Amino acid sequence: MIALPPLLSWHDFLDAARRPETIHGDGRHSSDEFSGGSWDEALRLAVDGWQLALRDADVTVGTLREQAGLGIAATTLEPAWDVTGSEVDVGAYLAGVPECMVDAVPRQTSRRGRVVTFVVPATYVNTTPHELVRNRGLALATLCAAIIGAGHSVEIWSGWACHVYGERHTAMARVITAGEALDVGRLVFAVAHPLMCRRLWFAVWDAEEPAIAQRMQDDIYGRAPYHCLPEDLPADVTDPYIFPYLRPDDPQWTDLDAALAWCHDTFVDLGLLD
């Protein structure tokens, strides 16, 4: 098996894709029609994001906030200093601070949501229509954005997995890091645009050692099965949910409504939605 080192940030992924190619690869040189756009467009969208409006998910933020625990007030005790209080802060007293008395004051705070890790396989057969890639990605991005907005901390990886002349090849790139501000345009590009796979991921492999890169290209950038596995991720990433890889005959991706319904049901099964 050949496994590339994990790319731990979007910046790392773009740096890997921009490296000088070691072969005349498809990442930069395949047709725009097949790839879904030009090499320059891929780089521009990777930096600026694909600014498509997301559909309203069939869930309410209020429901999500309650599910995430953000609608439940948690009581914590915090110190408060004043001229009167139940205990003396000796340090403040010796320093001559008038507000040297301290009390434990109860405060209402919101609980944080859980951390959820998603892996979205980036590989699919070359007969897959661009529309299916877009429908699946927009559905995933819509519900992920809703969950993030509700307080869950979501980490999203783009996964490459394929077989080259029977040998498994893998690579992982973190698109969204848990806790960072959500870049919707980046998320939509990474999971919904064919340029992510057919330009940028191809370019990552085109920049590998010539023997590896050439074998990848000669075997049409790998063959099925394209399953990503938990062990493809760094060891500190635990309990990920790995989406099934995209198949051109999957009925759930034929239109956006069907894709949203499938993703919604999946998120319900995961306990993220009611």
* pLDDT single digits (tens) 80-107: 667 777 777 766 667 677 766 767 655 4
* pLDDT single digits (tens) 228-238: 999 999 998 98
Cβ atoms within 10 A of the Cβ of 41, count? 15
* Higher pLDDT among residues 91 and 175, named by residue: 175
Q: Contact 263/269 with Cβ under 8 angstroms? A: no
Locate tokens 């600026």: which residue? 48
Q: Contact 124/247 with Cβ under 8 angstroms? A: yes
* pLDDT single digits (tens) 58-79: 444 334 344 434 333 444 455 6
* pLDDT single digits (tens) 126-149: 888 888 988 888 888 888 887 777
Residue range 215-243: average pLDDT?
93
pLDDT for 146 equals 78
